[in-house]
Amino acid sequence: MCGIVGYLGDEQAYPILIKGLHRLEYRGYDSAGVALITGRKDLAVYKSKGKVAALEAACEDKDTTGTLGIAHTRWATHGEPNASNAHPHYSESRNLALVHNGIIENYKSLRAELEKNGMTFQSETDTEVLVQLIEYMMGTHKCDLYNAVQLALKNVIGAYAIAILEKSHPDQLICARKASPLVIGVGKSKSGRTEFYVGSDATPIIGYTNQVVYLNDEEVAYMDRSGKMEIANLNNVKVTPQMVTLQMNLDELEKGGYAHFMLKEIWEQPNALRNCIRGRLNIEQKDVNLSGVIDNKERFLNCRRIIICACGTSWHSALIGKYFIEEACHIPVEVEYASEFRYRNPVIYKDDIVIAVSQSGETADTLAAIQLAKDNGAFVYGICNVIGSSIARATDSGTYLHVGPEIGVASTKAFTGQVITLSLLGLAIAKERKTLTKEMYELLIEELCNIPEKMEWTLANNKDIDQFARQFTYCRNFLYLGRGYNYPLALEGALKLKEISYIHAEGYPAAEMKHGPIALVDHEMPVVVIAPKRGMYEKVVSNIQEIKSRNGKIISVVTADDTVVRGMSDYCFTIPDTRDCFVPLLAAIPLQLLSYYVAIARGLNVDQPRNLAKSVTVE
Ligand code: M6R
């Protein structure tokens, strides 16, 4: 949901800002803009509708010189995506320019107040209200920008990550955050002087410096050309910046020869999962060690219920996690949409463990759900991919996925990483609570270790999906069916297709078909059935029969040596045999590839699907 970049140093800012925007484009791409203190000490703002490439084209004949600037790529919340609503926004006097990620909830009343005081507005955005409010504070309190930002933000209800330039102080950069992420990189220029980078996440900063400071909620940072950095809260109480060393490298952010990040991330899954289990799962000793569980052993021993909060794909992996944890640990697990949980006065006990699952670690609803759980005294455990993200920092303990940065908007390797991490968590809890026999514990560990190799087999043996997918270019609907552990995967398969190919798809528990959805089945309806030779195989075979009798087209995911379902299917994807609970890890791959190639056949941009953004930092 909007990406912010900033630079202050010795280098030309514009190329650094544009490169940063490209890396953040996954956060939003309906318009983009840049503000620069130019060589002539002007505060220039350039913006355009569309992607960052459109901004670059619009800037070709403009003065883009200067070593201080801020930039923005937008996912519209207030006002349609056009150049005037794009960021940066000037203040009325044009002395300030500001970029913003988040939502100012009370912007209407603030705007009305400012208008009463004679201020006029150029856009419909909440962001323009913010920059005007800051300018207003500077005027009425006769203070500098740093203080005015603190004063203004005290009046703001909502979420913000902001960066601001001031024409009359062309050597300073100010930023602030609350409930939207912001990272400051601190590097050294060629001449050895301190330079500053700002990003909505670390991706625009990688390659320049690995030293970063994560701003906390309601903190305002001041940086200037002398290398000074100061951070204070909204009451101007100074805070000592905590420098962190980033572990990410540049290669992880490139497409590495793949046409799209999504395809790269699908193929990366075997190695990503190896990284995820490394150091946690010991194959020689057949043991699992998760520091988050070991360090909080009493909590896990005494908890009577687990509640998992998540959104989208993370909600689907949470559902698979529920099945596994209930089976392995005998603890009741509830899975909640974070957006519902946060607003419905749920019953939360002090001995509950609330688990937040989030790739980005920035999803606003999940963050709010955590806060609610904490306010009610529950212990909160985070499962995130992005290191140092807001959720990772807001939770009491947790486990990172370690699957590397996921750039494609459609989540793939984070999904399988979450499923495997929840399985590790289930095994670690089962070990403490002694709810699995030694034999079963070791069998599960052994099989978990085989998953990366089995994923490699799956990728190698489903290579013709691209040819097959073309026939669905003009389909209007799909059904996805699965039972047990494969029901959440059916939901995930349907979501993948919807979000990147814009074809309507529904996921259902296979047995629910006859309670309604079967009415939709005819010769035009492709039905994807996850039908491994495990669990309720015979029952799934009967469900397939029911669809075939109504002329539905069967696309199945079957175990490699299957002949029965293969014989009933119009097309088959094959996976190696594995335990029931791990089938989704393998069966996810053909479903991801199917949605990818259907979207490609429809000529769509899979990495940047319309209306979506990678991290949903607004409600
Ligand atoms: O970063 P999170 O895991 O919290 O994100 C949750 C959802 O927004 C996300 O999974 C979304 O559904 C993806 N686009 C799915 O591919």
Q: Which two tokens stand for residue 245?
A: 């060393």
Distance from residue 473's CA to the centre of ligand 1 (Å): 25
Distance from residue 488's CA to the centre of ligand 1 (Å): 15
**Ligand 1: does its nearest atom lie under 6 Å from the Cβ of 133?**
no
My answer on whether 447 and 512 are in the same domain is no
610 in a structural domain: no
Report the interhelical angle of 269-277 vs 438-460 (nearest 10°). 160
Q: Whose CA is nearest to atom 11 of ligand 1?
A: 312
**Ligand 1: does its nearest atom lie under 6 Å from the Cβ of 181?**
no
Q: Is residue 29's pLDDT more than 90?
A: no
Distance from residue 312's CA to the centre of ligand 1 (Å): 5
Give CA–CA dist 189/193, Å, rounded: 5
Q: Which atom of ligand 1 is nearest to the CA of 616?
A: 8
My answer on whether 271 and 299 are in the same domain is yes
Q: Which of 459, 486, 521 is the last residue of a domain?
A: 459
Stretch among 77-91, 344-358, 386-400 having the lowest mean pLDDT = 77-91
**Ligand 1: does its nearest atom lie under 6 Å from the Cβ of 85?**
no
End-to-end CA distance of the chain: 10
My answer on whether 450 and 488 are in the same domain is no
Q: Is residue 77's pLDDT more than 80?
A: no
Distance from residue 338's CA to the centre of ligand 1 (Å): 12
- The H or E element containing residue 307 is strand 305-310
Of 75, 313, 385, the one to substitute when testing ligand 1's pocket (max ligand atoms within 8 A of C-beta) is: 313
Q: Is residue 257's pLDDT more than 90?
A: no
Distances from the Cα of 371 to the Cα of 233, 365, 376, 389, 391, angstroms: 20, 10, 9, 15, 10
Share of the chain above pLDDT 70, in %: 99
My answer on whether 489 and 595 are in the same domain is yes
Domain that holds residue 568: 465-601
My answer on whether 52 and 195 are in the same domain is yes
Give CA–CA dist 584/512, Å, rounded: 19
Q: Which of 191, 215, 250 is the last residue of a domain?
A: 250
**Ligand 1: does its nearest atom lie under 6 Å from the Cβ of 411?**
yes
Distances from the Cα of 539 to the Cα of 476, 532, 546, 552, angstroms: 28, 11, 11, 18
Phi, psi of 360 (to 5 degrees): -75, -30
Q: Which atom of ligand 1 is nearest to the CA of 363?
A: 4
Q: Which two tokens stand for residue 96?
A: 């300030």
Torsion of CA 73, 76, 77, 83, to 10 degrees: 90
Q: Which atom of ligand 1 is nearest to the CA of 414?
A: 3
My answer on whether 471 and 423 are in the same domain is no
Positions of E strands within 119-188: 158-166, 172-178, 183-188
Q: Is residue 174's pLDDT more than 90?
A: yes
Q: Which residue among 47, 49, 178, 614 is the active-site one?
A: 614
* pLDDT confidence bin for 2, thresholds 50/70/90: confident
Tell me what pLDDT residue 249 has.
72
My answer on whether 304 and 413 are in the same domain is yes
Tell me what pLDDT residue 328 has.
96
Q: Whose CA is nearest to atom 8 of ligand 1?
A: 312
My answer on whether 392 and 442 are in the same domain is yes
Tell me what pLDDT residue 105 has.
87
558 in a structural domain: yes
My answer on whether 66 and 199 are in the same domain is yes
Q: Which atom of ligand 1 is nearest to the CA of 391?
A: 4
Q: What is the mean pLDDT of residues 58-87?
A: 87
255 in a structural domain: no
Distance from residue 373's CA to the centre of ligand 1 (Å): 21
Distance from residue 585's CA to the centre of ligand 1 (Å): 17
My answer on whether 271 and 373 are in the same domain is yes
Q: Is residue 39's pLDDT more than 80?
A: no
Has 329 been annotated as catalytic?
Answer: no
**Ligand 1: does its nearest atom lie under 6 Å from the Cβ of 363?**
yes
Give CA–CA dist 379/349, Å, rounded: 10
CATH (domain of 30): 3.60.20.10
The mean predicted confidence, pLDDT, of the chain is 92
Give CA–CA dist 458/267, Å, rounded: 10
Amino acid at 509: P
Please state the separation of Cα 240 from the chain's center in Å: 29
Of 26, 261, 311, 497, the one to substitute when testing ligand 1's pocket (max ligand atoms within 8 A of C-beta) is: 311
Dihedral sign, Cα of residue 138, residue 139, residue 140, residue 141: positive
My answer on whether 228 and 144 are in the same domain is yes
- Name the domain count of the chain: 3
* pLDDT confidence bin for 28, thresholds 50/70/90: confident
Q: Which two tokens stand for residue 479?
A: 């059904």
My answer on whether 273 and 363 are in the same domain is yes
Higher pLDDT, 122 or 611: 122
- Nearest residue to 483 via CA among 528, 529, 516: 529
Q: What is the mean pLDDT of residues 576-592?
A: 97
Q: Whose CA is nearest to atom 9 of ligand 1?
A: 312
Question: Are the CB atoms for 586 and 490 separated by under 8 Å?
Answer: no
Give CA–CA dist 509/458, Å, rounded: 24
606 in a structural domain: no
Which pLDDT tens digit goes with each residue over 179-218? 888 999 999 998 899 999 999 988 899 999 999 999 999 9
**Ligand 1: does its nearest atom lie under 6 Å from the Cβ of 492?**
no
Q: Is residue 283's pLDDT more than 90?
A: no
Q: What does the angle CA 307 – CA 615 – CA 451 come to, to the nearest 5 degrees?
A: 65
Of 616, 617, 619, the one to substitute when testing ligand 1's pocket (max ligand atoms within 8 A of C-beta) is: 616
Residue 394: DSSP 8-state: H
Distances from the Cα of 449 to the Cα of 270, 384, 452, 486, 582, angstroms: 11, 21, 7, 20, 11
* pLDDT confidence bin for 582, thresholds 50/70/90: very high
541 in a structural domain: yes
- Nearest residue to 576 via CA among 555, 563, 591, 561: 561
Phi, psi of 480 (to 5 degrees): -125, 130
CATH (domain of 402): 3.40.50.10490
Give CA–CA dist 225/442, Å, rounded: 58
Of 363, 395, 416, 496, the one to substitute when testing ligand 1's pocket (max ligand atoms within 8 A of C-beta) is: 363
- Nearest residue to 583 via CA among 517, 469, 493, 494: 493
618 in a structural domain: no
Has 2 been annotated as catalytic?
Answer: yes
* pLDDT confidence bin for 1, thresholds 50/70/90: low
Q: What is the mean pLDDT of residues 326-333?
A: 96
Tell me what pLDDT residue 618 has.
66
Edge-first strand order for the sheet with 3-8 is 43-49, 31-37, 68-74, 3-8, 194-199, 183-188, 211-214, 243-245
Stretch among 72-81, 225-234, 540-549 having the lowest mean pLDDT = 72-81
Q: Whose CA is nearest to atom 4 of ligand 1?
A: 358
617 in a structural domain: no
Distance from residue 412's CA to the centre of ligand 1 (Å): 10
Stretch among 57-71, 106-120, 504-518 having the lowest mean pLDDT = 504-518
Share of the chain above pLDDT 90, in %: 74
Q: Which of 250, 277, 310 is the last residue of a domain?
A: 250
Tell me what pLDDT residue 75 has.
77
Give CA–CA dist 144/137, Å, rounded: 9
Give CA–CA dist 171/41, Å, rounded: 10
Distance from residue 405's CA to the centre of ligand 1 (Å): 14
Of 359, 367, 387, 612, the one to substitute when testing ligand 1's pocket (max ligand atoms within 8 A of C-beta) is: 359
616 in a structural domain: no
Distance from residue 619's CA to the centre of ligand 1 (Å): 13
